[in-house]
Structure 1
Amino acid sequence: MIRRVFLVLAAFATLTFQAWSAEVGEDGLHKQDWFALTFRDVAEDIETAREEGKRLVMIFEQRGCIYCAQMHEKLLADPEVADFIKSRFKVVQYNMFGDEEVTDLDGEVLTEKTAARKWGYVFTPTLMFLPEEAPEGMTAAEAAVATMPGAFGKWTFLNMFKWVDEKGYEGEEHFQKYHARIINELRAAGRLESE
């Protein structure tokens, strides 16, 4: 009887884990069904996002990245985080060591891995937030309005998306000050469990 109960609990735990964990693709990267599949032409992706009333964010990941897995299984599995991002951003995933073709804003055709090198990205996950319109004569990295290298807690992660959505990069309030203000507001409202 104890063994049967254990097997039922183990099966339930497995199903529960599968229900909230992100799918892993053949490339070894975790996938969200709401990530956009594009031809990775950065200017075109910026324009498509703008037409949809969204902003483009590119996420660099790599196979076996524990921080990428945490981002998918904790942050992007959180409805508050995922719903905000899905409603305001078009997300395109890049494999830091991938061979898929990428067209930079300056017109140069690269692979995902040569784009990562050209743009100076060495950590995964790295999120690159692009402007509302594609500028001419710049690389994607030069045009980025913000970059988030590495994995962070829920509020740092979500607040970066909110800061970009509110165009905080155009104002005087640096992201760190914005983030501290939001954290204080969450504490005052009794909503902050942990950062």
Structure 2
Amino acid sequence: MNPVRSFTLIPVVVLVALSAWSVAPAQEARLEPGMVNPGWVEPPPWFHESFLDIREDVQEATDAGRRLMLYFYQDGCPYCEKLVRDNFGQRDIADLTRRHFNVIAINMWGDREVTDMAGHDTTEKDFARDLNVQFTPTLLMFNEEFQVVGRINGYFEPHRFRAALSWIGERRENDISFQAYFEQLSPEPATGVLHARDGWLQPPHDLASALREDGRPLLVLFEQAQCSACDELHLDILARPDSEALLARFQVAQIDVAGRDRVITPEGEQTSAAAWARDSGVLYTPTLAFYTPEDGEVIRAEGYLRTFHVQSLMEYVLTGAYRDEPELQRYLDRRAQSLYEQGIEVDLMD
């Protein structure tokens, strides 16, 4: 069994977004004993109040012709703030959300009592852990059968978030994939090229052999040509000297999510690039999937990442820290605090 994963793939679909981790290295937000992440962003007033009996919340939403959305947050999370202010702060997005969903906020470190879908009493933090919530914000959308039909791990930019709300809210998840639905809309501006590098593994990929024979961890980049976040990852974040040094310690395979190249996956299955991406639940590009020879897939981060997050993920895997600290948020908090104590300021959006 793998020691840690970024999230559990939940039927019917997982929408993957910006993987947002909260750290607080600056002096005005420095962690104090007993605190996890300082800071608080007030949710919109139209969020629903709840006794956190999830079964009752699903039924209430169903009776109103809507679906239940659970919003997992943590204090001091900059991407939670972006979600609340940049997304829900737009009138059309707020109206779209209210039309299709009852939204309830849950603190991933909170102690309020929750009754889960099976009727078991637990706490917010244990409920989040049971659902493998590693990123904030995380949004879970439930149907009337108490099943999770949509999951957004992290932050979607407003145009993509708007599409996701419509896709799940209009119950299209069984009719069309989100990627196909999103591509029907106006394409995002991008260079239109895949940014491959010399020295990376070349197709057709035999990733099982590469992982077994090389000994270095494997980083799989699921990407597509028309992807502005992929452009930013390659032309900025991975081009920085510290990122280059970390990246050199990985084998890297770039997988075109629309490609036909043959692939032998790290698990030894023979498939195509597009089929592997689809069967793995990759619905956002870029997706970064990390494997080690000892543990297989260690962690997966999907969506828009900035420099601190990308470098932290690489160090998390390279140092084997995931074995001792399976909760990524705590690792990131400690790493940010360590950098702060060295006089290095961490800007999460740099």
TM-score range, shorter chain: 0.7 to 0.9
Offset of residue 38 of structure 1: 4.8
In structure 1, the partner of 2:328 is 175
* Larger deviation, residues 173-182 vs 113-122: 173-182
8 A Cα contact 2:203 2:261, kept in partner: no
Q: Over residues 44-65 of structure 1, what are the superposed CA-to-partner deviations in whole Å (9 max), with x where a residue is unaligned?
A: 1202331xxx211111000110
In structure 1, the partner of 2:307 is 154
8 A Cα contact 2:292 2:298, kept in partner: yes
Q: TM-score, normalized by length of structure 2?
A: 0.42
Q: Secondary structure at the match of 2:205?
A: coil
1:58 aligns with 2:220: yes
State how 1:88-127 maps to structure 2 within 5 Å: 88-127=249-288
- Paired positions, count: 158
Q: TM-score, normalized by length of structure 1?
A: 0.74
Larger Rg: 2
Unaligned runs of 5+ in 2: 1-190
1-structure distance, mates of 2:244, 2:280:
26
State how 1:121-140 maps to structure 2 within 5 Å: 121-133=282-294
Q: 1:114 to 1:164 in 2, by over 3 A?
A: same
Quick one: which of 48, 56, 61 aligns to 2:213?
Answer: 48
Higher-helix-fraction structure: 1
Q: Secondary structure at the match of 1:30?
A: coil
1-structure distance, mates of 2:266, 2:201:
18
8 A Cα contact 1:28 1:64, kept in partner: yes
1-structure distance, mates of 2:313, 2:268:
28
Unaligned runs of 5+ in 1: 1-23, 136-142
* Larger deviation, residues 101-110 vs 152-161: 101-110
In structure 2, the partner of 1:10 is none
| Aligned-partner residue type, residue 80 of structure 1 | D
Offset of residue 192 of structure 1: 2.1
Q: Secondary structure at the match of 1:77?
A: coil
1-structure distance, mates of 2:224, 2:337:
34
2-structure distance, mates of 1:78, 1:45:
26
Cα-Cα RMSD: 2.0
Offset of residue 105 of structure 1: 4.2
In structure 2, the partner of 1:84 is 246
Q: 1:163 to 1:96 in 2, by over 3 A?
A: same
